[in-house]
Amino acid sequence: MNLQQLSEHMQGAILQGDPRLRFQRYNIDSRLTESGDLFFAIQSRRDGHDFVADAVRRGAAGAVISRDVPPLPTVTALVRVKDTLCALQDLAQHVFGTVRPRVVGITGSIGKTTTKEFTAELLSTRHNILKSEGNFNNHLGLPLTLLRLERHHTTAVLEYAMSAPGEIAALTRIVPPDVAVITNVKPVHLEFFSGIDAIAKAKRELLEGAARPATAVLNYDDPRVRDMAAGWEGQALFFGLSPDCAIRAENIRYLGWDGLSFDLIYQEERRPTRLPFFNRGQLYNFLAAAAVASVFGIPVQAVAEAAGRLHAGDKRGRVYVLDRRIRIIDDSYNSNPAALEEALKSLSRLPSGNGRRIAVLGDMLELGETETGYHRRAGEFAARTAIDLLIAVGPRSRHLAAEAIAAGMDSAKVLYFDDSREAAEHVPTLMQEGDVWLIKGSRGVYMDVIVKKLKERG
């Protein structure tokens, strides 16, 4: 689209610039602006209008604004709209309607990004895919993703995230999914909800806002997700470990660092499959992706082959092998009670060269009033697993450390640091040959600084 067409779709007025001008990309962050971009001045935590000049300095060919900005070079396109966020979303909707790919929408408390990546990988064996980059999954990320659609894209694999009721419904109004995937419902972002059932209700908005007809892809082993099929008039496809699932894993074998193998039951077919992951959560993410692949008619052989090519995302369970056979499992992207338990179980199952398994656990944020209880329970859980050293990081994790000791862990094997920076200074000196280190914590705790220091030293 040229400037004239863009402006019409946003119901804007061109203040300056050649109406025939075309743009390379659409962008809302002046720091990421490149030559030829159209910059949208979005009012968020900060007001994007304050960064229009910066965006233009970095090469933006135009900007969409809703209030006056200081004068810009006359060649710079400028479109004035009533509301820049609505303009961005309207434009995205228009582009979506023009290309009209089939849409896979993915939500859930844990594993959205991973499931999105897996799904895109499986579908790309037969389809031209557009997927959300990273976690472009909210009222800004979703439209920005849609604006990357090209005519050759037959399918869009999109992540729908939320931290409050109504947010997913709003995203489905921009783009309703044809296949709606719900990975699980867990205590994540709990501080914004009255309880876990309220989280389930908010996730179900993906089904309510889905296209008609649509297929729901649901985790059977999570009762709150399973129950979402009740009252759903479309097709429902279940994945999980239960025999009731059309897409399931049977005969699971844990192969240590080689991951896990299982029989993939795919509709009526059975296929031995290996996944290069040792975390059972990743198996669920894979099964969700496989279920979507079955909706798209991808043959089981292609799915099983692609399974071996999947890999963990950055900071989402990636393994680094250092000198002296030390291994680091970098799970520093995020943490919550359910994902932490799964990660600790995986750690206990892994072989270690010298027998030492070390868990460095940072605070789990956004749990609301129940946060102390969740940290205590995590400490108790950790004490029952095969961990040789527990390193707790952050004020909430003080409870985790205390409870691990109360539950029987030797206090000499429990360390505590106030924050990740302090931990990063001391922890690397503890590394020994053959160690296995798991690093996990909520994003806001910056456990990745510990991973960085460990890698530097190792």
Q: Which is nearer to ligand ADP, 64 or 225 (CB)?
A: 225
Task: State yes or no: residue 206 binds ligand ADP (CB under 6 A).
Answer: no
Q: Is 111 near ligand ADP (CB under 6 A)?
A: yes
Beta strands (DSSP E) in 11-144 are 13-16, 26-27, 38-40, 62-65, 77-80, 102-107, 129-131
> Is the four-CA dihedral 150, 151, 156, 158 of positive or negative sign?
positive
* Residues 60 and 33 sit within 8 Å (Cβ to Cβ): yes
Of 37 and 117, which CB lies nearer to ligand ADP in the complex structure? 117
Alpha-carbon gap, residue 448 to 205, rounded angstroms: 33
- Which residue lies nearer to ligand ADP by CB, 15 or 350? 350
Q: Does 30 bind ligand ADP (CB under 6 A)?
A: no
Judged by CB under 6 A, does residue 317 bind ligand ADP? yes
Comparing CB distances to ligand ADP, the nearer of 77 and 361 is 361
- Do 262 and 283 touch, CB atoms closer than 8 A? yes
Contact status: 273 vs ligand ADP (CB under 6 A): no
Size of the site for ligand ADP (CB under 6 A): 17
Comparison of 84 and 132: residue with beta carbon closer to ligand ADP = 132
Nearer to ligand ADP, 60 or 161 (CB): 161
Instruction: Map the footprint of ligand ADP across residues 115-154, applying CB under 6 A.
Output: 135
Q: Interface with ligand ADP by CB under 6 A: which range of 16-24, 169-177, 265-273, 328-336? A: 328-336
Residue 316 lies near ligand ADP (rule: CB under 6 A): yes
Residue type, 259: G
Residue where the block lists tokens 């691990």: 404
Is residue 281 at the binding interface for ligand ADP, with CB under 6 A as the rule? Answer: yes
Nearest to ligand ADP of 60, 339 (CB atom): 339
Q: Choose one: 82-90, 331-339, 347-355, 363-371; the region binding ligand ADP (CB under 6 A).
A: 331-339
Q: Which residues of 134-151 are buried (b: 16+ CB within 10 A; e: fewer)?
A: eebbbbbbbbbbbbbbee
- Tell me the window of 89-97, 231-239, 327-335, 365-373 that interacts with ligand ADP (CB under 6 A): 327-335
**Could you tell me how many helices (H) and strands (E) the chain has, helices first?**
15, 20
Does 219 help bind ligand ADP (rule: CB under 6 A)?
A: no
114 counts as binding ligand ADP under rule CB under 6 A: yes
Distance (Å, whole) CA 456 – CA 458: 6
Beta bridge partners of 392: 361, 416
Q: Residue 332 to residues 328, 380, 404, 420: CA-CA distances in angstroms?
A: 11, 21, 21, 11
Q: What DSSP line would sit under 253-319, residue for residue? A: EE-GGG-EEEEEEETTEEEEEEES---HHHHHHHHHHHHHHHHTT--HHHHHHHHTT--PPTTSSEE
Rounded to a whole number of angstroms, the minimum distance from the CB of residue 137 to ligand ADP is 7
| Region 282-311 residues binding ligand ADP, contact defined as CB under 6 A | 284-285
Q: Is 110 in the site for ligand ADP (CB under 6 A)?
A: yes
**Site of interaction with ligand ADP (CB under 6 A):** 110-114, 135, 183, 281, 284-285, 316-317, 331, 333-334, 339, 342
